[in-house]
Every structure is written in C-alpha cells, then in structure tokens.
C-alpha cells in the first residue's frame, strides 16, 4: 500500500457551507484590489483589455466543466499555507498601494484556493484560466516606461529611414519628426506600439491555446506579437505622416481619423495573428 497526501473524496457535488463562507470572505477581501485594478483599466488605454480578461477566464473555466465534474476532489495540505502566502502578498500590495502586487496576490490566491478546496486535479484543469488572469494585472511602471521610450525611438527612427528611402525629406529630433511643410509630428505614447504589444499578447495566448496543440506553434504565435505590433504600428505612423503632408498635422492626428487608424491597426494585428497560425499549420501540418 502507498500513503497518499491530502484528503481524497469521491464527491462531485457543490461546495460545502464552510467553503462558501471562505469564498465570500475572499471576495470581500479582494474588493479593494479589484477597485484598484479597475481604476487602471479605465485610465490607461493599453490596459483597457483588463475588463475582458476575467470574463474570458470564466469562459475558459466553464469549458472545463465536464472534466471538472469527473475529477476527484482531493484537498491538498499545501493549499492552506499557499493561500496564506498569497493573501500576505496581496496584503502587502494593498498596504503599499502597489496595484501590480495586489493583482499578483489576487491571482495567486485563486490558484491556492482551488488547490486547498478541490486539490491538484482541479488546479491542473483550471491552470490556463487562472494563469490567464495575470493579463489583467498592470506591469510595473519601472518596466513599462523604459519600454515605451525605446519603442518611441525605434518607431521614429524606422519611420524616418523609410520616408527618406521614399524621397520624403523628414528630419528627426528624438521622437519628433519635422515635416517638409514646416509642421512637426510627435510620436506619442499611443503611437509607440505599446498598446498593440500589450493588448495583442493576451489574444495571442488565447489563440495559441484554443487553436494549436503543437507547443512550438503556440510559442511561435505568441512570439509573433512583437513583429506584428511593431510592423503595423510603423505603418500607422507612416500613413499619419503622409496624411499630415496632405491635410495638415492637426487633422491627421486628431479626431476620428486618428482614432480610426488606431482601431484599424489593432484589427489588422488580430487578423495577422490568426494568419500566422494558419501559415504555420500549412508549413508543418503534423505539428
């Protein structure tokens, strides 16, 4: 005979009253963290997808419902300490006002609660939906701001080089382009490509998980986000420069035209992700 860890149970029913009470307490504890996250989603354009991430995660978890109903309930002895640690991380984030730490603590608490209340089998089945929740958590400013700066410089340099090759004499000073008509175009944060990069990454993970079984193709789809985001954002900047030459910088960068260009860039990026998956399957059908 072998000794097993945890408390195994053949039951497939719902939660006990004590488990519902625990979940209610956790939900109440997470209200400040959710409010802090929502504030970021509402005010920072490249985190607006945060509203959709929990909904997508719930749908992904619902897809696993048949398997969950068949999975054994085996509460893990590691669940309680893991939950305590996750809540401690969350508490530090709340006390310090660090939204990213609160978010990581919240996601870790969800994983630990599943491990404690339902065990390893349930946690394995819900691993992707839980990990997907990480995409609702903002990156630390110390990471994202240097990235934005580098993207601005890259986009500006690449755009000027391509415009010169096309015969348009544009001058560059930092992330400002001086046009031949005397006007200037400033490559702002929204035009740096960070929005496409941050918002396409969760979509790439979702597409890779739902459409591919081959690990290398999944990795390739996710990695393709970088060139896709940079390429189509660069095209957006080039189109804006050409438009500014014809209708003026103010009209080209304000109002519906500029907003439509941003939406078109994202939509084409989404289609490009699907195209990458289709191309990879044609190149290596068997995986």
Contact in structure between 179 and 185 (CB atoms under 8 Å): yes
pLDDT tens, per residue, the chain with 287 residues: 333 444 444 445 566 787 888 889 999 999 999 999 999 999 998 899 999 999 999 999 999 999 999 999 888 889 999 999 999 999 999 999 999 999 999 999 999 999 999 999 999 999 999 999 999 999 998 999 899 889 888 989 999 999 989 888 888 888 888 888 888 888 877 777 888 899 999 999 999 999 888 888 899 999 999 999 999 889 888 888 888 887 777 777 776 666 677 778 888 888 998 889 888 888 776 55
The last residue of one of the domains, among 112, 137, 162, is: 137
Report CA dihedral (146, 147, 153, 159) to the nearest 10 degrees. -170
Residue 132 sits in the same domain as residue 148: no
Q: Which residues contact 6 (CB under 8 A, 6 or more apart)?
A: 74, 75, 76, 77, 119, 120
Total residues found in the chain within this entry: 287
Residue 176 sits in the same domain as residue 99: no
CA distance 275 to 197: 17
> Considering the domain boundaries, does residue 254 fall inside one?
yes
Whole-model pTM: value is 0.86
Domain count, the chain: 2
Residue 205 sits in the same domain as residue 259: yes
CA distance 120 to 123: 5
The last residue of one of the domains, among 137, 169, 192, is: 137
Contact in structure between 19 and 79 (CB atoms under 8 Å): no
The structure tokens 């000794």 sit at 3
Residue 90 domain boundaries: 14-137
């Amino acid at each position: 005979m072998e000794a097993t860890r945890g408390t195994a149970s053949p039951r497939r029913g719902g939660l006990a009253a004590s488990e519902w009470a625990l979940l209610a307490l956790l939900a109440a504890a997470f209200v400040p963290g959710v409010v802090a996250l929502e504030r970021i989603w509402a005010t920072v354009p490249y985190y607006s997808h945060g509203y959709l991430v929990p909904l997508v995660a719930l749908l992904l978890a619902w897809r696993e419902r048949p398997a969950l109903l068949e999975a054994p309930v085996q509460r893990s002895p590691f669940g309680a300490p893991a939950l305590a640690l996750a809540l401690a991380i969350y508490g530090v984030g709340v006390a310090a006002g660090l939204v990213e730490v609160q978010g990581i603590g919240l996601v870790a608490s969800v994983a630990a609660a599943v491990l404690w209340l339902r065990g390893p089998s349930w946690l394995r089945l819900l691993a992707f939906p839980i990990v997907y929740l990480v995409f609702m958590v903002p990156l630390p400013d110390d990471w994202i701001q240097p990235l934005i700066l580098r993207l601005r410089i890259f986009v500006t340099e690449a755009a000027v080089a391509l415009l010169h090759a096309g015969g348009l004499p544009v001058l560059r000073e930092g992330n400002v382009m001086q046009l031949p008509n005397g006007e200037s175009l400033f490559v702002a944060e929204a035009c740096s490509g960070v929005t496409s990069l941050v918002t396409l990454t969760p979509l790439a993970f979702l597409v890779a998980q739902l459409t591919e079984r081959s690990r290398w193709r999944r990795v390739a789809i996710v990695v393709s986000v970088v060139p896709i985001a940079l390429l189509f954002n660069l095209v957006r900047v080039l189109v804006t420069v050409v438009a500014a030459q014809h209708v003026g910088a103010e009209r080209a960068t304000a109002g519906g035209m500029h907003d439509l260009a941003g939406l078109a860039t994202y939509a084409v990026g989404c289609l490009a992700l699907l195209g990458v998956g289709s191309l990879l399957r044609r190149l290596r059908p068997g995986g």
